[in-house]
Chain A
Amino acid sequence: MSTTTAETSAPVTGRPAADTTRRRVRRRGERGPLATLASHGVLITASLIAFFPVAWLLFLSLGPGKDDYLHPGRIWHTMTLDNYTFVLEHTSFFDWLKSTLVVVAGTTVIGVVIAATTGYAVSRMRFPGYKKFMWLLLLTQMFPIAVLIVPMYQIMSDLGLIDTYLGLILINSTTTVPYCAWLLKGYFDTIPFEIDEAGRVDGLTPFGTFLRLILPLARPGLAVAAFYSFLTAFGEVAFASTFMLSDDKYTFAVGLQSFVSEHDAQRNLMAATAVLIAIPVSVFFYLVQKNLVTGLTAGGTKG
């Protein structure tokens, strides 16, 4: 992948260098045609690299044979949607969809609802133990799944929560709740403190200020937190593979593996399922991505 490394150096060092060789008369923000061409070239290459694996999966999903990924040429002549109809009619696709939705919805609701007040408190209030608490939030980001998976497995099996949605939701919450709190703190920091003061002057309690004034303003931040929880729960592989045992309770992350883990790898069906999963998620992603940059870097740009 020499293209990847070429990209690394080109924009960082190449562009400014190209600029300096140009005459200084151009106004700021203007570039010579060569620099513009180079920018487009790099961006187009990067876009192709970003796009190709996904497009390839889409293409393979149209081939009827399970070894078509080795002979992509064949697909052109035999293109068919059969894989999709088969997946929808004869596999556990809808069971997986249901489990995924239950787990994702549960995690998202818990993540956002629980984290919101905390994010506000650590954004506005300096209480004894504040630093330790923030450190704890950061610390939970560091937990490798290997730390929790064994004890969680023991605890969950003691409680009879293996192979239940609740178990998986609780486990997903261990990562989403602290991260959402952190993320929301960053967002609340960008909301002017004067609004709180105005609310307090008007006789609102801190809870009242939070509920009536800040929460409505923080909707984009909440969207990002919800989105983050959604993605985490949706893409969680380790716990879902280990804790979900029955085929009809698999989330997509586990279900998709089941196509290849068997001796008879049905790669064409797997590709079709992958596309069916990826499309709605990507659409959702693009709907919320407008808020994404602001939300994720709100904390960063403040400091």
Chain B
Amino acid sequence: MTVAIDRATGKRHGDRAPRPGRTGRLRRAYQKHWYAYAMIAPVAVVLGVLVLYPLVYGLYLTLTDANSLNTARTIGVNHIDATYKFIGLDNYQDILFGPTAYDRFWSHFLWTVLWTALCVALHYGIGLGLALLLNQKLRGRTFYRLVLVLPWAVPTFVTVFGWRFMLADGGIINAALDALHLPSPLWLEDTFWQRFAAIMVNTWCGVPFMMLSLLGGLQSIDTTLYEAAEMDGASAWQRFRYVTLPGLRSVSSTVVLLGIIWTFNQFAIIFLLFGNTAPDAQILVTWAYQLGFGQQPRDFAQSASYGILLLAILVVFTSFYRRWLNRNDQQLAI
């Protein structure tokens, strides 16, 4: 630190009012911002205690060989202490490069990526189409909207069971296909059709959110823009391309990101549709759950490692996504 003394006052530079020292700046920042910090404190505490602490703890578990046989547990009145030991990065090594890496991680990874891409594309495409239709002056559009929101209004765990009845061998879908003399696939048993069914059900469940969000976005586009475009002789396609799509950009980039994150992490649909019966239709999240809770002994360490890997994939993806948005002068609506 400089110790220059101001000749006139005899005070050191650091003490001068306009340039307070580090503690002074902190105090001023505190005085200016303490309201903000007080207001975000509850959420910060919740995140710290309920999210970050378990995350760190989980990170530690991934460096051990913890499973349900060697963790601390209580059987009756006997308490058995944990006996798992630290094994470093072996879990990650095993998952990513071990002898069964392709069967267990990479094949599920590829399927998860495909699942996410297809589902979000379908959600967005169908959602945008329906939103455009609902945004015109049309008789009964409130009614249509109410019905179209139904898949979202009914809890997923309820409708998935409805789908299971429909997709069962001999259920209504196969009966209908039979009646049309079309082949009736084993939706819930054959791997390809399991995946097909999962995408279909997830699309059905996810469209309403996209539709409503994009409808909100459409309604917020200034109508004078359309009038101006029309004055300039823009065709309907040009109006869609140069007014509607740019107008939806911020909503789109947000809901697509949310859609990708949610679909990547979609647990309930695959878990409830197949249970433990479809090892090849499991996405990474349900697969990780199965390792940790769907088998005996429960492999806590590997399950947690999958979790950390999943989170890493998403964080990297989101960072790139945001950087890409920034390069294109777009912003997330956050």
The answer to whether B215 and A11 touch across the interface, beta carbons within 8 angstroms, is no
B183 at the interface (CB under 8 A from A): no
The answer to whether A57 and B125 touch across the interface, beta carbons within 8 angstroms, is no
B279 at the interface (CB under 8 A from A): no
The answer to whether A151 and B203 touch across the interface, beta carbons within 8 angstroms, is no
User: Considering only CB atoms and an 8 Å cut-off, how many residues of chain B contact the other chain?
Assistant: 116
Q: A127-B33, A238-B271, A293-B212 are in contact. Are A270 and B161 (CB under 8 A)?
A: yes
Residue of B nearest to A297 (CB): B216
Residue of B nearest to A260 (CB): B161
Contact check: which of A15, A133, A140 meets B133 at CB < 8 Å? Answer: A15
* Residue interface mask A265-303, B partner, CB < 8 A = 1: 001001100100110011001100100111011011111
Residues B144-196 near A (CB distance < 8 A): 144, 146-159, 161-163, 165-166, 168, 170-172, 175
* Min CB gap A142→B, angstroms: 4
Residues of A within 8 A of B58 (CB): 147-148, 150-151
The answer to whether B226 and A28 touch across the interface, beta carbons within 8 angstroms, is yes
The answer to whether A20 and B236 touch across the interface, beta carbons within 8 angstroms, is yes
The answer to whether B161 and A256 touch across the interface, beta carbons within 8 angstroms, is yes
C-alpha spacing A170/B158, complex, angstroms: 24
* Residue interface mask B123-134, A partner, CB < 8 A = 1: 001101110111
The answer to whether A274 and B158 touch across the interface, beta carbons within 8 angstroms, is yes
C-alpha spacing A194/B279, complex, angstroms: 57
The answer to whether A144 and B235 touch across the interface, beta carbons within 8 angstroms, is no
C-alpha spacing A157/B217, complex, angstroms: 45
User: Considering only CB atoms and an 8 Å cut-off, how many residues of chain A contact the other chain?
Assistant: 115
Q: A146-B289, A278-B155, A296-B213 are in contact. Are A301 and B51 (CB under 8 A)?
A: no
Contact check: which of A16, A174, A181 meets B240 at CB < 8 Å? Answer: A16
The answer to whether A56 and B166 touch across the interface, beta carbons within 8 angstroms, is yes
C-alpha spacing A186/B289, complex, angstroms: 33
A122 at the interface (CB under 8 A from B): yes
The answer to whether A8 and B125 touch across the interface, beta carbons within 8 angstroms, is yes
* Min CB gap A156→B, angstroms: 9
B315 at the interface (CB under 8 A from A): yes
* Min CB gap B206→A, angstroms: 12
* Min CB gap A103→B, angstroms: 13
Residues of B within 8 A of A231 (CB): 155
Interface residues of B (CB under 8 A from A): 29, 33, 35-40, 42-44, 46-47, 50-51, 53-55, 57-58, 61, 71-73, 122, 125-126, 128-130, 132-134, 136-138, 141, 144, 146-159, 161-163, 165-166, 168, 170-172, 175, 200, 203-204, 208-209, 212-213, 215-217, 219-220, 226-227, 230, 235-237, 239-240, 250-251, 254-255, 258, 261, 264-265, 267-268, 271-272, 275, 284-285, 288-289, 292-293, 300, 303-304, 306-308, 310-311, 314-315, 318, 331-334
Q: A-B pairs with the 4 shortest C-beta distances?
A: A11-B129, A297-B216, A146-B288, A147-B307
Interface residues of A (CB under 8 A from B): 1, 4, 7-12, 15-17, 19-20, 28-29, 31, 36, 39-40, 42-43, 46-47, 49-51, 53-54, 56-57, 60, 69-70, 72, 114-115, 117-118, 120-122, 125, 127-128, 133-134, 136-155, 157-158, 170-171, 173-174, 177-178, 181-182, 185-186, 205-207, 210, 231, 234-235, 237-238, 242, 252-253, 256-257, 260-261, 267, 270-271, 274, 277-278, 281-282, 285-286, 289, 292-294, 296-297, 299-303
